A and B are shown apart, each in its own frame.
Chain A
Amino acid sequence: MLGLDTVGRYVELMKRTFSKPDNWKMFWRQLPKEMEKLGIDSIGIIVLISIFMGAIMTMQTVLNTENPLLPRYSTGLVLRDTMLLEFASSIMSLLLAGKVGSNIASEIGTMRITEQIDALEIMGVNSANYLILPKVIGLVLCMPLLVTFSVFCALIGGTGVAYFTDMIPVADFVYGLQYAFIPYYFTYSLIKSLFFGFIIASISAFYGYYAYGGALNVGKASTNAVVNSSIVILLMNIVLTQLLLV
């Protein structure tokens, strides 16, 4: 029953969030700020993690597939397809659930406990719409960009391993990256990222919006936001894979 109650309140909040903004000018002013804060400011950590992920995956694949039946270019192919199909969207979304999700939940939660949300309501502003909609749309718009960066940087990381070590010839690795490329995998990754962006922003905003009490509860809201958005991302990953690939 508790779970149903939570789902009901989430749906109710989303209904209020996705209503017409009180002032479109303010919405358009808010949107780029949120895109910068949630998306652009996350590029650094995405680039760093993706480069290292690409490098480590390349090394692990080379070291663990020493089979003469496997062509040497398979390392590049494995890295490309793993990043496209799973890691760039799912793993990066789990990472963003931690970074962006906790940011959203704590920001809105602090506004709630310091009565800033009440102040908006008293003014006649739809606080859910004003605070949450730009964050949701901002993150959803930024996610494909972040996923593209992630794939690209992982491939650079892998190429770096090939270039700076003698584990695999660069030519074989690059051939593998280009071999049997299926463009739909990239589309699939972008579609997943749109859903995951919505999940991260909306669930985190939900926990922040219904925070109560003091700083301790804002911390709890932030933790709940990260944990629950991560769980929903994992469940949604199975559903989307079933729908889009199987």
Chain B
Amino acid sequence: MIEVKHLNKSFDGKQVLYDISATFRHGAVNQIIGKSGSGKTVLMKSIIGLFKAESGEVLYDGRNLLDMSKREIKLLRREVGMLFQGSALFDSMSVIENVMYPLQMFSDMSKIDVEKRAKFCLERVNLQTHAYHLMPGEISGGMQKRVAIARAISLNPKYLFCDEPNSGLDPVTSLVIDKLIEDITQEFNITTIINTHDMNSIMETGANIILINKGHKGWEGSKEGIFTDDNQALNDFVFASELYKKVKLASQK
């Protein structure tokens, strides 16, 4: 479980996050949602420690990230996997080398075991074997996301962060990636935090949702309450689309 308490973050005197408190549940897909520029990515990067928050607490199963030494943060990061918006695969390495990299870096496994584990992770994300030795630039965006997920889970992380996992993907592939993240979260019993503004993804996997609005926590709930709650910030976000306005009208009739 990850808890955030009274988190504040600013850049060059301009406050971006205001007193954010939230709990991200263990073994569930937690989502940070909000419009572009609302502060979701800053919140996620502050939770991971890529940005240093000015005040507050970020508790990883009770361990406060903001009180940790550099060495402790380094050790904590070995428990963390992350899927970046653009996949962030190392373009000088092949697909399988990308997945093997964290294992070679931080495990004592033999070369054969490292390769076995990498193949297991790639099989788990349903990547075709012919792609194992291709370079990241030679595979599709959806395949790149799968490889990035395989790399993120290779060291058996306790916490998985996904920054807009569906960006640049078609709706069908997006659903596949959402389902994959949800399955992996439950199968490996990890705390997953997804940063998204994709409504399909929210409705598909949002077990615990936090809405960020202009740097403030605007709303907290689950996908079940997203259409029925009368929170103004939530309604502004959800019903910005004509489609969802029609869905709401239809449900009211």
Considering the chains assembled together, what is the distance between the CA atoms of A25 and B89 in angstroms? 21
CB of A119 within 8 Å of the partner chain = yes
With A and B bound together, what is the CA distance between A114 and B90 in angstroms?
9
Of the listed stretches A83-91, A120-128, A186-194, A232-240, chain B binds: A120-128
Report the nearest B residue to A33, measured CB to CB.
B92
Determine if A124 and B77 form an interchain contact, defined as CB atoms under 8 angstroms apart: yes
Q: Are B50 and A26 in contact (CB under 8 A)?
A: no
Q: Is B112 an interface residue (CB 8 A)?
A: no
Whole-angstrom CA separation of A111 from B88 in the bound complex:
8
On whether the beta carbons of B88 and A118 are closer than 8 Å, the reply is: yes
Cβ–Cβ contact A119 & B75, under 8 A = no
A122 touches B80 (CB 8 A): yes
A122 touches B48 (CB 8 A): yes
The binding surface of chain B is classed by DSSP as mixed
Flag if B105 contacts A123 (CB, 8 Å): yes
- Contact A122 B105, beta carbon cutoff 8 Å: no
Known: A124-B74, A124-B78. A115 touches B102 (CB 8 A): no
Question: What A residues does B88 contact at CB under 8 A?
Answer: 114-116, 118-119
Q: Which of A183-232 contact B (CB under 8 A)?
A: none
A114 pairs with B86, CB closer than 8 A? yes
Which of the listed residues A111, A116, A119, A121 has the most CB atoms from chain B within 10 Å of its own CB?
A: A119
Q: How far is the CA of A118 from the CA of B86 in the complex (A)?
A: 12
Chain B residues near A111 (CB-CB < 8 A): 90
Residues of A within 8 A of B80 (CB): 122
CB-based contact B82/A122 at 8 Å: yes
Q: Does residue B36 face the partner (Cβ distance < 8 Å to A)?
A: no
State A122–B77 Cα separation when bound (angstroms): 6
A119 engages B82 (CB within 8 Å): yes
For A118, give its contact among B50, B102, B104, B155 (CB under 8 Å): B50
A125 contact set on B, CB distance < 8 A: 105
Q: Does A22 contact B (CB under 8 A)?
A: yes
Q: Which residues of B contact A122 (CB under 8 A)?
A: 48, 50, 77, 80-82, 161
B residues less than 8 Å from A64 (CB atoms): none
Instruction: Report the interface size for chain A: residues with CB under 8 A from the other chain.
Output: 15
B84 at the interface (CB under 8 A from A): yes
A242 contacts the other chain (Cβ, under 8 Å)?
no
Per-position 1/0 for B83-106, Cβ under 8 A of A = 011101111000000000110111
B104:A123 contact, CB within 8 angstroms: no
Closest to B81 in A: A122
Instruction: Point out the residues of chain B lying under 8 angstroms from A22, CB to CB.
Output: 105-106
The interface residues of chain A lying within 8 Å CB-to-CB of B86 are 114-115
Q: From the candidates B48, B91, B105, name the one contacting A116 in the complex (CB within 8 A).
A: B91
Which residues from chain B contact A116 at a C-beta distance below 8 Å?
88-91
Does residue A23 face the partner (Cβ distance < 8 Å to B)?
yes
User: Once the chains are docked, how many angstroms separate the CA of A122 from the CA of B160?
Assistant: 11
Question: Quick check: B74 and A119 within 8 Å, CB to CB?
Answer: no
Residue with the greatest number of chain B CB neighbours at <10 A, chosen from A22, A25, A123: A123
CB within 8 Å of B: which of A9-53?
22-23, 25-26
Extra contacts besides A121-B77, A122-B80 (4): CB < 8 Å: A23-B105, A116-B89, A116-B90, A123-B78
11 contacts between A and B (CB under 8 A): A26-B104, A26-B105, A115-B88, A116-B89, A119-B84, A122-B161, A123-B101, A123-B155, A124-B74, A124-B77, A124-B106
